[in-house]
Amino acid sequence: MAKVKTAFFCSNCGYESAKWLGKCPSCGTWNTFVEEVISKPSVKKENGWDDYHEETKSIRTIPLNSITSSEQVRITTSDAELNRVLGGGIVPGSIVLIAGEPGIGKSTLFLQNGLQLQNKTVLYISGEESEQQIKMRADRLNIKNDNFYLLTETVTQTIFQEIKKLKPHLVIVDSIQTIQSPYIDSSPGSISQIRESAAEFQRFAKETNTPVFLIGHITKDGSIAGPKILEHMVDTVLQFEGDRHYAYRILRTIKNRFGSTSELGIYEMTGAGMRGVNNPSEILMTPKEDRLSGIAIAATIEGMRPLLIEVQALVTQSVYGTPQRTVSGFDLRRLQLLLAVLEKKGGFHFGVKDVFLNIAGGLKVEDPSIDLAVLCALLSSYEDVPLPQHVCFAGEVGLSGEVRAVHRVEQRIAEAEKLGFEKIIVSRYGQKSIGKQSGNIEVIPMGRVEEVYQYLFQ
């Protein structure tokens, strides 16, 4: 009788070893290796997809120059936000991983998108919920589609038999952690099962040119459960973020072989499903009748989309020996850099102050153009003086206190003008890229942090 083959996997990064190791050679973590059965003493049968379509891929070596390059026709959904984060639509033969916290709305979003594809045959595979549960959610969405099919199954062999019968144009798997391969003798959700199940769906997607969406879970620390194995195997990784207690959700691109990795889509959770937010700048800025200190508006760029977001700062006297630095949606080290610039160039004593910074709307901003708005919000809270109304900021702050130019400033100015801002403060060194502005907004160039302070508070 053949011996059962086992291996040890790192539960943090997926590194495989023939024996148990105390420290993972790949990620350096300790005591993360677990033993799993990776094969049974039986002959493994491969799924053949020769009869799936009339046109099948022939395995042969060909010269690169003989291949004709052509733009691949994407499947355009009725969801403009999903099209944006995917780079223009669903690429045939692609495999997309969607990860997010439990209850954030992953299943609702992709059930909704599957139902909206009226002219395509869609197969929704659920390993977590029954037919009745999914039917109740579909009734709440109130979208009718005769080409939408449902399969509640967890074994890959049975799933691919049904796929051969139906031949769908799109496959949605909810979730990959519940799917198991009969050729791997371990529990669903284990590293070996996730790797084998994802590999079978990847092979199906590439050989049949059928796009596959894999919905995945995340761990307590926010990383995709799997762990990194799934991210390396798929073409696109989307992160669905947001607080379950708030209405807005953010679909962010982490990896994309067919488009930009800096795109994001914003949704609003409603009783009838997810609604795409076409103008997110209006929801990221809180309309206020009273002028409040510590609030500044930044003109940023996320992917190809200009956004105006609200930066909130609170500076108070420290009651502890070490002052606190608390941020939400911003880099803590970047905040410390800006505080050091204000200490050195402006003489402000932030070393005895507690500083709290928040990016409104739950966004995580990495655009350096937000520096100037953060700095002005800190000064406004420090002086307890509100900033002038209808003024926004777009500029990076250097270590010597200079206001540096940022890219695509024309789009930022146009977005600010569209939302009714009267003035925008930008870098003096980016004047050549601004050009002539034909609008009602006044562009104010600044070169130093000291100039900005004098303009706003003196």
Residue type, 255: K
Determine whether the annotation assigns residue 106 to a binding site. yes
Q: Is 102 annotated as a binding residue?
A: yes
103 in a known ligand binding site = yes
Burial of 354 per CB tally in 10 Å (0-12, 13-18, 19+): middle
- Residues in binding site: 100-107
- Residues in binding site for ATP: 100-107
